[in-house]
Amino acid sequence: MTSESENTSKGAIPPESVPEVTGFAPLTDLNIGLMFLTRLPTAPWRNRPLARAAWCFPLIGTLVGLLGGLIYWGALLLLPSGWIAALLAIAATAIVTGALHEDGFSDAFDGLWGGHEPARRLEIMRDSNIGGYGALALMINVGLRASALVFLFDPKLVLLAMVAAHALSRAQVVWCMNVMPLAGKPGLAARAGRPNSKVTLIALVLGLGMAIWILHLLLEPILILAVCGSSLLAGWLFMALVRRKMGGYNGDTLGAAQQITEIALFLALASAYHWSLTGLNLPKVFS
């Protein structure tokens, strides 16, 4: 999601004086999703709970992943260095999202391992300063993502991987918001509300459907299950740890769950690609 310390004046949580939009309003929801998850130009805010618009998070993730994949492709055409292309692609996704999830990721690791009790962990996460745990975790985060993209190398493969990872990881965020309790009342996550079962189901169908549709172009069904399942499991295990340490989620830990799910999908897909190179004939195409 985002850092608890981030300025939310962009409009993620509207003033109560603005009349609320009710009923079926997909264009409003998409505008809210773009406004909250990206720094792209959007229409003026219309008051609607963020939780009701959360179904579109995987669609916003698809757009972000597409942008990152195209930047990778373009960079590789200009300068055939996988590392440069991968780092530029990751930088592009961070820029377009305002490093929303990366910020939450570093804050979450600072808080979870820098504090010894839930209240102190939340306090550390609200601090805008980055500590040693957060800095080290963020370095490993970028390193793992870049390494996986370099290993995949082929621009078509990287493009598909980035779209699948960004779509599925945003669906994971909505799922966590629906089923986990909040760690504390103050903060953006509390004000955003809780997506209901219908919103959560739509988000999961969109995110998982996008990932499966993309991966079926690359993998046999058993490997599609392994890649999607392992990435969702990684994010979910992290959130289980969050619940044990804090009693529930906040915006920072949701951002960390998104990043971990994304990283896990990249690594799982790279592993499937590795096995395809061994001649075991596991994946369907990859050539």
Q: Over its length of 287 residues, how does the chain's per-residue pLDDT go in tens digits?
A: 544 444 343 444 555 556 666 667 889 899 999 999 999 998 887 788 888 999 999 999 999 999 999 999 999 999 989 999 999 999 999 999 999 999 999 999 998 898 788 888 888 888 888 889 999 999 999 999 999 999 999 999 999 999 999 999 999 999 999 999 888 766 666 677 789 999 999 999 999 999 999 999 988 888 999 999 999 999 999 999 999 999 888 989 999 999 999 999 999 999 988 776 665 454 454 44
CA 32 to chain centroid: 17
Residue type, 75: A
Q: Which two tokens stand for residue 90?
A: 């990751």
Instruction: Name beta bridge partners: 47.
Output: 20
pLDDT at residue 131 in the model: 87
Cα angle 77, 83, 88 (rounded to 5 degrees) comes to 70
Report the predicted TM-score, pTM, of the whole model to 2 decimal places: 0.88
